[in-house]
Amino acid sequence: MKRILFCVVPEKGHVNPCIGPAQHLQAADCEVAFYAPADISAQLEGAGDFTFLGPRETPERHDLSRGASFAANIRDAAWLRRWIHSLLIEYTPAQVDGIRAILRQWRPDVVVIDPLLYASAIAAELEELPWVAMSNSLNPVLPDTLDSELLATVRWLAPERDRLFARYGIEAHFRGCDILSPHLTLAFTTENLVGAAPQGVELVGPALPAGARGDEPPFPWERIDAARPLVYMSLGSQLYYQPELFAKVIQATRATSAQLVLSVGELVDTDLPPVADERVIAVRYAPQLALLRRTHAFINHGGANSVMEALACGVPMLLSPFCNDQFHSAWFVERAGAGCRLDLEQASVQEIADAINDLLRPGPLRERAAQIGASYRRDGSAEAARLIIELASGSHPATAS
């Protein structure tokens, strides 16, 4: 029985894409465990009773990466740069020894890492274990011609990052924020969205769960009006504290024929945003995949997991990115013609209403989203699991980075 250890960033958008591959590995008689620097055991128990080898508490810095203060902080470019530096560089050395101890104790055949969790790649290299870079984002397929604030930050910290890895005798290769594996790098997308894969990167398709994802909340399905097109809006599990934006979209949607579902986090316990009629449903956390299968248009922040799931369901998108790789996701979707980018902070209510109507009416946006959706009708989770098992069995050749 092969042992596979996932080392993940403890955020929904990073954990969720790992669940499907882990379920397929488990079904193939692999023993699967997870490590994260904060407690994700509740979701893992619900998704497949996976072993969790990380801490059973949540560090303060994890709690700080959400809510009103975080939503305000990410608008400060200097703060955002320091935060990225902390996550990628500053916290890494202190994590390496702990992960190495877990690897020695649990003795996996392959380590599957989130490419932003550099300490796990360092630990796997030092323990001479094969490791897979499994990205939740489109970082592994970024074209050299694309630029962004995030990529500027990466260029700024790159010399320090190189020195960090050199301290451990490792010559690492990166694309954007992501470390690339010399063994296997996976991206959850298809050529229809991103074009040909760079050397060493496998495009496996979307990573969807093979069963329960472990975080499915209750939802008032009886309130969905089947006679109206459904618009769903989510700004993710970190950047959801945007009451003004939700209020604008509510007002804009009332100028259309649609019903609106909002995933608003802790805002659900307040009177912000204003929800006053049956055409608007606000919940703390939505069962996103199930909802997207009934959705006609999706308003989101360009989060990688949200974009992947929307494309898998063939849903056209209105994207309003705030920071980091969200701009990359929006760029790919807009270039492919499967959605449009609109700054919800700057746009008027009428401009938002017009954009929603563009997504709802028959035309190029819906057609292109459906075409990409057809290319996403492949089991990326199963393919990822197959390639991981191949590597664990020693039959997958090393790939150039």
Locate the domains of the chain by residue range. 3-208+379-392, 221-375
Please tell me the distance from the alpha carbon of residue 180 to that of residue 97, in angstroms, as a whole number: 21
β-pairing verdict for 131-135 and 110-113:
parallel
SS3 179: strand
Query: Tokens in use for 172?
Result: 């690492």
Residue with tokens 């248009």: 297
3-208+379-392 CATH choice from 3.40.190.10, 3.40.50.880, 3.30.1490.480, 3.40.50.2000: 3.40.50.2000
User: What's residue 287's pLDDT?
Assistant: 96
Query: Tokens in use for 372?
Result: 């990409």
User: What's residue 102's pLDDT?
Assistant: 98
Local mean pLDDT, 10-residue blocks, the chain (401 residues)? 97 96 98 97 96 84 69 91 96 98 98 99 99 97 96 98 98 97 98 96 98 94 97 92 94 96 93 82 95 98 97 98 96 98 98 98 98 97 99 75 47
SS3 111: strand
Query: CA dihedral defined by 218, 134, 60, 67, rounded to 10 degrees?
Result: -50
Q: According to CATH, what is the number of the domain 221-375?
A: 3.40.50.2000
User: What does DSSP assign to residue 268?
Assistant: G
How close are the terminal C-alpha atoms of the chain, in Å?
A: 29
User: What's residue 291's pLDDT?
Assistant: 98
Please tell me the distance from the alpha carbon of residue 11 to that of residue 173, in angstroms, as a whole number: 24
Please tell me the distance from the alpha carbon of residue 269 to that of residue 284, in angstroms, as a whole number: 8
pTM of the predicted protein model: 0.94
Going along 8-151, which residue ranges are E strands?
31-35, 51-52, 110-113, 131-135
Please tell me the distance from the alpha carbon of residue 253 to that of residue 299, in angstroms, as a whole number: 11
Give buried/exposed letters for 314-326 (b at 16+ CB in 10 A, else e).
bbbbbbbbbbbbb
Q: Is the peptide bond before 218 cis (omega within 30 degrees of 0)?
A: no
Q: Can you say how many angstroms the Cα of residue 11 is from the centroid of all Cα atoms in its chain?
A: 8
